[in-house]
Structure 1
């Protein structure tokens, strides 16, 4: 039994080593792929439930908003899509509620209509935050 345990542990170690080497060798491809996927899925926000939930989770957990494209700030990608509303808002919402800073736990958020205010809306790009997270973990 001890020999079986050692063999299984050895195989797990080898798999982890191979995974680390492959991750290092293909890190640029992973970076490019992540960027392309984030750009393509942000256009599906509010049209696909899984994508919407994923973006909301990323934006809340990483304290960011959208993804920068062609020099525009992250949250501006939502403004360019000319959507009438985000998440059943008033029709004037320019960014999703998951982009809002909420220091007091207040559910009445008006920041979705004023995305340029850094006190109310996360200004950071989600791609940069996720890239740093993946890089350091």
Structure 2
């Protein structure tokens, strides 16, 4: 060793230092080539394979971050929290777009749930008297289903907004399951309402002729007849002659805000002309179509929210997997 010149020792130390640079492992250009530097090649073989892997990972990480050095890792920690599916900026934007769409869809679903509840409550309170005359509970049953689904939809959509903002994997999966169940129930309610729309005439005529005979005896049926004749401005089943001379006051027309005494003067000028069967049938068909249309519209929004929730859940899972892989790489 004493015979080695100081210049040779200097270049040997330089080769030992250069052999540890990342350019050696990337195949980059170097001033000292391996063919002319056997000392550097010998020193490179002494490097641990784990250290070589560590250098390669850091080089790739700098490439993904635009050539930043490891000294800037602390500054990039906050930026990594916003990565959605990886280090690629395009995927990050895609993930944020999915989260935004899911949030907006849930807000619209919340509004749709409120509309369904209001529509259902209005139908029961204002038009519930029809149920006593049509001979079936199918219409109001479907309305009750939609009211329940509307209330549940408000709660589920709120949790969906929270899950999309907080990126909670468990809540996203629970939300998707709840939306699917509500979707099925709302579709059932809408189908029942639409089915009832086509079965009104068959059961309604028989029930109305049967109930008109007990007018004045059963309080519920008498109240239902009075309500339907006052609200829908009709009289009898097919016409006022169905009452056979015993016309109730609810069949009388209004004049200056007061009802005309049509019990004494039974003419078409004082009594509603239209029969209640056709008028009620048209009314139920129209409202059943509205309820079914609202159910289909909200179901479409729920389907969109369901799809977005599955995509968001997959994004969160991939994000956590990437984070775990990065933690393992740092530990190694």
- State the TM-score, normalizing by the size of structure 2: 0.32
Higher helix share: 2
Q: CA RMSD in A?
A: 2.3
- TM-superposed CA distance for 1:62, in Å, is 0.3
Matches within 5 A, 1:1-137: 1-2=159-160, 3=172, 7-25=177-195, 27-68=197-238, 74-79=239-244, 94-106=246-258, 109-115=260-266, 117-137=267-287
Residue in structure 2 matched with residue 91 of structure 1 by the alignment: none
- TM-superposed CA distance for 1:110, in Å, is 1.9
The total of aligned residue pairs comes to 117
SS of 1:124's equivalent in the other structure is coil
Provide closer, same or farther for how the CA distance between residues 106 and 25 of structure 1 changes in structure 2, counting only shifts above 3 A.
Answer: closer
| Structure 2: gaps spanning 5 or more residues | 1-158, 161-171, 288-332
- TM-superposed CA distance for 1:36, in Å, is 1.4
Q: Residues of 1 paired with 2:284 and 2:269: CA distance?
A: 27
Q: Residues of 2 paired with 1:26 and 1:61: CA distance?
A: 21
- State the TM-score, normalizing by the size of structure 1: 0.71
| Structure 1: gaps spanning 5 or more residues | 69-73, 83-93
- Listed one character per residue, the Cα deviations across residues 50-71 of structure 1 (whole Å, up to 9, x for unaligned) are 1111100000000000102xxx
Q: Highest Rg: 1 or 2? A: 2
SS of 2:217's equivalent in the other structure is coil
SS of 1:112's equivalent in the other structure is coil
Provide closer, same or farther for how the CA distance between residues 54 and 8 of structure 1 changes in structure 2, counting only shifts above 3 A.
Answer: farther
- TM-superposed CA distance for 1:124, in Å, is 0.5
Question: CA contact under 8 A between 1:95 and 1:112: conserved in structure 2?
Answer: yes
Q: Residues of 2 paired with 1:103 and 1:42: CA distance?
A: 26
Q: Residues of 1 paired with 2:178 and 2:255: CA distance?
A: 48
